[in-house]
A and B are shown apart, each in its own frame.
Chain A
Amino acid sequence: MVIAWLSLLPLLRLLVEALHPKTIIGVIASPVLARALMHSVVTSLGGAFVSLLIGTAYALAVSVTDAGARRLLSAAALLPLLIPAQIVALAWMQMLSPSGLLSLPPGSDAALYSAGGIALLLGVEHMPIVFLAARAALAGIPAELIEAARAAGAHGPRVLARIVLPLASPGLAAGFGLATVSCLGSFGIPAMIGIPARYPTLAVLIYQRLAGFGTAVLPEATVMALCLAVVSGIAAAANGWVARRADVRTIGGTAGGTAYRFELGRWRLVVTAALLALAAVTAVLPLGSLVSTSLSRAYGVPLRPATATLGHYATVLATPEMAGAFATSAWLALAAATTIIALAIPLAVLRAWGGQVWLKHLLGAFDRVIDAPYALPGIVLAIGMILLYLAPLPLLRVSLYGTGWIMLLAYIPRFLPLGLRPVQAAVARIDPATDEAARAQGARFLHRLVAITVPLLGPAAAGAGILVLLTAFGELTVSALLWSPGNETIGVLIFSLNEGGDIAGAAAVSVLCLAAVFAVAGLTALLPASARRVLPWAA
C-alpha cells in the first residue's frame, strides 16, 4: 500500500489540482502551450527516427553480419545508457566549439541550436532503446528462414528487404514507440539546447514557468503537465496497440539458436569502418571534446600544452556546494537503489508465488500502476510530488518540499520499474520447487524469503540495484524541479553552471560524473554472470 501511495498519489493529487475549468481553459487556449507541444512532438518523432536509423544499423551489423569489432560496436551503441542526457548535450556543444577536439571555428555550433539539433541529440541518447529492441528481434529470427530465402536464389539485399526487416519490424516498431515516449518526457537535451535556441518543448516550458514564477503558477504548470502526460499516454497506447497487432510469430525453427550471419565479403571492411566512424562521431569526439574543454584555461581557447590547466577541477572540488552535489547525488542514488531493491524482492516473490488469490490480483493490478511514473514524463512526476508534499505533512508539521527527501520520494516510483523488472525476471527463472521444498519443511514466508529466495535472487537484485544507482546518479529531469539550495544534484549543478556561462566548470563536473559512472560500470565486470545478465551493456 505504501508503494502504491508513492506511485499513484502524486498523479491523483495532480489531477485534483488541475481540474478547475478556468485554469484548464486559460492554459489550453494559450498559443504558447500549443507551440511547445508541437515542438515536443516534432523533436520526439525526429529523435525516435534518428534512433531507429542508427540503432537498427548497429543492430544489423552486430546481429546478422560478420562485421568486424562487433563487441566494440555493441558497446558504442549502448554507451548512451550510461551518459546522462545533459552531459550528452554539453559534450556535443563542446565538439562543435573551438576548444573541442576538432578545433572548429567559433559559431560552428549554430546548427545544433535548432529543432534538428535537438532531434539529433535525442536520437543519439535514445539509440540504445532501439538497438536493444532490434537486437532482440533479429536474434529471434530462425536461421532457417534466411537460409530458405538464400536457397530460393535471393541475394543479400533482397533477403534483407523481404525477409529480415519485415520479420524484425514488430521489434523495430516497439523500439521506435518506446523511444518516442521517452523523448517526449526528456528534459536535459531540450533544455540545454532548446532554451538558448528559443525552441522550448513542453517539458522545458513547464520548467521555465516554475523556475521563473515559483509555486504561484503551479495550477497552470499542472495543466501543462497533464497535457504532456496525455500526449505521452497516447503515444504509449499507440505503441501497445501496434505491438499487439503485429503478430508475426515464427514457425518452427530454432529461435534463439545460433543466429544467421551474412558474410559481407569485400563490404566487410567498409561496413565496419563506417560504423566505427559513426561511433567516433556520436561518442568519442563529443566525450573527448568535453575533456578538452574541461582542461582548457579559458572557454573558446583551443587546447594546447600551454593553455592546459587542472584549475577547473580544483575549483569544483574546492567549492563546498559543488562538491556537495556529488554527495547529494551519491546518497540519493544509493538510498533509491537500496530501497527499490528492498521493495522489489518481496513484491516480485509475492506476485510469482504468493498463496492467496486476492493478493495475486492486487499485485497484478499494482504491476500496471508501477509503470505509470516511468512511462510518464519525469517533469510530470515532479509536479505531482510538489503538489503532494508542498503542504506540511500531517502530524509531523514539517514540509518535505525544500529538502532532499522529496527527491528520494520521487526517485523511488520513478526508478522502481527499472529495479523491479529484472528481479521479476530472476524470480521467474527460479524453480518454484525450491520454495515449495522449504514450505514442506515448515518454513514460514519470512524465513523462506531470507534463507532461500534472497540468496538465490541476490546476484540479479544486485545487478538491478546497480542499474538504478547509475541511472539515478546523473538524473536531472526530476531534480531540476525538486532541488533546493544545499541539495543540488550533479545534474542540476551541470545544468546551472552551463546556464551561468561557466562551461569549463560544467565540463569538469561532467567528466567527474562520467568517471564515477564508468568506474562503477567497469567494476560490474567483476560481478558473477548471474548479476551481469541484468545489465544491458554486459549482456
Chain B
Amino acid sequence: MRIELVDVVAAFSERRALDQVNLDIGAGEFLVVLGASGCGKTTLLRVIAGFHRPISGEVRIGGRVVSGNGRFVPVEDRGLGIVFQSYALWPHMSVAGNVGFALARRGVSRADRQRRVTRALQQVGLEDYAMRYPMELSGGQRQRVALARCLAKAPAIVLLDEPLASLDPALRGAMQDEFIGMHQRLGSTFVYVTHDQSEALALADRIALMQQGRILQCDPPRVIHDCPASAAVARFVGGGALVPAIMLAAATDGRTRVRAAGAEWLVRTGRGSTPGPVTLCVRPHDLALGQAADHGSARAVVLDARYQGSHWLVRVRLEDGTELEAAHSGEPPARGKSVELRILDGWVVPDAIPVSEAGTQFTRR
C-alpha cells in the first residue's frame, strides 16, 4: 500500500521532531529511514503508525487520508504490523497466543486462526515453540516470534523500529535474511528505521536519510553512496573524505575535470554544476596506489594502514597536506614510504542541487 506524507510537521513540546517532511513510499517498496539518534526517524515511524499526531500536514495510506484536515485514524484502525526493537512480546501469553492475538477479533475462525499461526511460525522456523512462553526463548527467537506475529496478520504495511539493535552482531545477518524473505512473502510496504548504514545499504530499495527532522536525500542505496546530494549525506554514509576543489570545465556526459589537492581529477557530477569552487566526495575505492597511465595521479606519503578483512585502508598525505584514505587489496606499503596515488573516480557534491534531481528514479530490485 502506498504511503504519502505531505508537509508533515510533528513536535514534542517545543522541539520540532519533523520539519515539513515530504515522502512518497510506493506500494511494496522497502524503504529504510536512516539517521543518527534524535534525527526524527522514530517520530516519522510513529506518525505513520498513528501513535503520534502531527501538528500539521497530511498522511495518506493507500490514498486514504489517515491524518490531516482534522481527521485522525488511530493506530488500531490503520491495519499495520509493527516490529519493535524490544520485540514487545506479551510475557503472559504463549508464543501461539502472541502470534494469534491480532487474528482473534477479525472474524477469523478458530481453525483458520490455528492454521495461520502455525504457518507463520513455520515460516520463521519456530513451529515447535508454539506453546512456549517468551521468557523461555533466546533473543533471536523472540525477534522471530515478533516477525511471525506480523506474518500471521499479513498487513499491507509493516513498520520496523530498529529491529536488530538489541541483537548481537552474529545474529543480525541471519535476521536481515528473514526480513527480506518476509518482505517477498508479504509483498507489503516496509518502512524500516535504523541508525546502522550497513543495514540500510543491504536491505533498502530506497534510503531516506534524515537529520534534524528533515529528509536530506531519499534514493536507492547505490545513489546515496555514490552520488550523495549534500556534504551531510556524504559524511553519514560510506567512508572517505570531502575535499575542496575547483571545477575547471562544464560537465560532459556527467563527467568533469576538477583541480584538488594539487592534482587534476576526472570525476562524476550531477546536472547543474558550473565551473568554480566545489566540494569533492572521494571514497576509499575511488583511489588506488601505484602507477597508471590513463588516470590522474599525485605523489603521496603513507601515514598508516588499517586492515579491514577484505582489503586495507591506507591513509596517505598529499603534497599540499590533504589526507585521504585509499582502499588497497595487496600488502600495504611501509609507513613513510612515498607512493603514487591514482585517482579513479570522485563525485562533485551538488550541495545546491535539489534532492529530487540528485538521484535516479526508484527502481525495484
Contacts and interface: CB of A to CB of B under 8 A. Distances in A.
B84 A147 contact: yes
A147 B88 contact: yes
Contact of B101 (A144, A154, A166, A248): A154
Contact of A252 (B51, B75, B79, B87): B87
Contact of A151 (B82, B86, B92, B135): B82
A142 B101 contact: no
B364 interface: no
Nearest to A167: B92
B37 to A, nearest CB: 14
B75 A150 contact: yes
A252 B86 contact: yes
Contacts of B81: 151
A227 B88 CA distance: 47
Contacts of B102: 152-154
A152 B89 contact: no
A251 B153 contact: no
B307 interface: no
A486 interface: no
Contact of B153 (A152, A166, A248): A152
Interface in A110-158: 142, 144-145, 147-155, 158
B76 A153 contact: yes
Contact of B90 (A145, A153, A247, A254): A145
A307 interface: no
Interface string A148-176: 11111111001000110011000000000
Contacts of B76: 150-155
Contacts, number: 81
Interface in A260-315: none
A158 B105 contact: yes
A250 interface: yes
B122 interface: no
Interface string B290-328: 000000000000000000000000000000000000000
B130 to A, nearest CB: 18
Interface string B40-55: 0000000001010000
Given A248-B91, A251-B86, A251-B89, A147 B51 contact: yes
Contacts of A151: 49, 75-76, 80-82, 159
Given A154-B76, A167-B90, 4 more contacts: A148-B149, A150-B51, A150-B74, A153-B76
Interface of A: 142, 144-145, 147-155, 158, 162-163, 166-167, 247-254
Interface of B: 49, 51, 74-77, 79-82, 84-92, 101-102, 105-106, 134-135, 142, 149, 153, 159, 166
What are the 3 A-B residue pairs with the smallest beta carbon separation, nearest first?
Answer: A252-B86, A152-B102, A144-B88
19 contacts: A148-B88, A148-B90, A149-B101, A150-B74, A150-B75, A151-B75, A152-B102, A153-B76, A154-B76, A154-B101, A155-B76, A167-B91, A167-B92, A248-B91, A248-B92, A250-B91, A251-B87, A251-B91, A254-B86
